[in-house]
């Protein structure tokens, strides 16, 4: 682990589960949608199955378990998620204060998410965080391959004028941690229900509350 004093060139935030406390809400919306289509599934199951995945990556899993899905399903699902996020999503505790502290310390911040562009912008808007990441927001739609591929974190680092090796990624899911590590970044992982050992095994440094983040990055 690097010393906390070595100041990163930029901080690359995942959105869901790091900034937006959205995973449970997203799981509820997906469960509602699938259940309405005659494929009964609980929000808990959805969260377990789909955590950190982009909507297109959900398709093969859904088709394998439930059978063929209409072509317009990803677009409908994305629309429904966007509407609910714009209305109901809340911040992860401590996330807004951590972002404010890092900005006040002059750090460059980017956001890289497996959400659609519209959904990501709805979440950052609702959380009043759009200005913190202005011009440095990346959806899976902005790159060739979503997480767990490194493309999105490479693009985010580039937008900050930084080499990925000099950036710190803040994540919470296994696909996200893999993406950050594959890009060459140091990865801090906020612990929710995933065992710390599992996060460490993927090469992340676990932490327990967003209040700790500025200190871990040598700020405050
Ligand atoms: Mg996440």
Tell me the CA–centroid distance for residue 22 and ligand 1, in Å. 9
pLDDT in tens, 68-88: 888 898 889 889 999 999 999
Going through the chain in order, the beta strands assigned E by DSSP cover: 10-13, 108-112, 137-138, 167-171, 186-190, 205-207
pLDDT band for position 3 (cuts 50, 70, 90): very low
* CA-CA-CA-CA torsion sign (31, 34, 37, 38): negative
Tell me the CA–centroid distance for residue 14 and ligand 1, in Å. 6
Tell me the CA–centroid distance for residue 99 and ligand 1, in Å. 16
**The whole model's pTM is what?**
0.88
Domains of the chain: 10-21+90-216 (3.40.50.1000), 23-88 (1.10.150)
Tell me the CA–centroid distance for residue 114 and ligand 1, in Å. 8
Tell me the CA–centroid distance for residue 102 and ligand 1, in Å. 20
Tell me the CA–centroid distance for residue 203 and ligand 1, in Å. 16
Distance (Å, rounded) from C-alpha 104 to C-alpha 63? 46
Residue 17 backbone zone (phi > 0: left; psi -120 to 50: alpha; other: beta): left
The answer to whether 12 and 169 have CB atoms below 8 angstroms apart is yes
Tell me the CA–centroid distance for residue 173 and ligand 1, in Å. 5
pLDDT band for position 51 (cuts 50, 70, 90): confident
Q: Which is more confidently placed, 109 or 194? A: 109
Instruction: Provide DSSP, 68-117.
Output: ---TTHHHHHHHHHHHHHHHH--BPTTHHHHHHHHHHTT-EEEEE-SS-H
The answer to whether 110 and 136 have CB atoms below 8 angstroms apart is yes
Tell me the CA–centroid distance for residue 7 and ligand 1, in Å. 24
Tell me the CA–centroid distance for residue 115 and ligand 1, in Å. 10
The pLDDT of residue 94 is above 50: yes
Q: Which is more confidently placed, 36 or 10? A: 10
pLDDT over 90 percentage in the chain? 76
3-state secondary structure of 45: helix
Tell me the CA–centroid distance for residue 212 and ligand 1, in Å. 18
């Amino acid at each position: 682990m690097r010393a906390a004093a070595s100041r990163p060139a930029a901080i690359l935030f995942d959105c869901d589960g790091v900034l937006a406390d959205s995973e449970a809400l997203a799981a509820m919306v997906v469960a509602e949608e699938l259940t309405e289509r005659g494929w009964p599934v609980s929000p808990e199951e959805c969260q377990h199955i789909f955590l950190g995945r982009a909507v297109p990556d959900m398709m093969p899993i859904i088709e394998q378990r439930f059978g063929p899905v209409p072509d317009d399903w990803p677009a409908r699902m994305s629309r429904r998620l966007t509407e609910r996020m714009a209305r109901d999503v809340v911040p992860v505790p401590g996330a807004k204060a951590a972002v404010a502290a890092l900005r006040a310390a002059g750090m460059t911040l980017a956001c890289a998410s497996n959400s659609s562009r519209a959904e990501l912008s709805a979440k950052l808007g609702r959380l009043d965080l759009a200005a913190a990441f202005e011009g440095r927001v990346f959806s899976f739609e902005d790159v060739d391959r979503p997480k767990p591929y490194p493309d999105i974190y490479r693009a985010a680092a580039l937008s900050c004028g930084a080499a990925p090796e000099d950036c710190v990624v803040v994540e919470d899911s296994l696909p996200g941690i893999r993406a950050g590590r594959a890009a060459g970044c140091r990865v801090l992982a906020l612990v929710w229900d995933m065992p710390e050992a599992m996060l460490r095994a993927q090469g992340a440094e676990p932490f327990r509350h967003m209040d700790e983040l500025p200190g871990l990055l040598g700020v405050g």
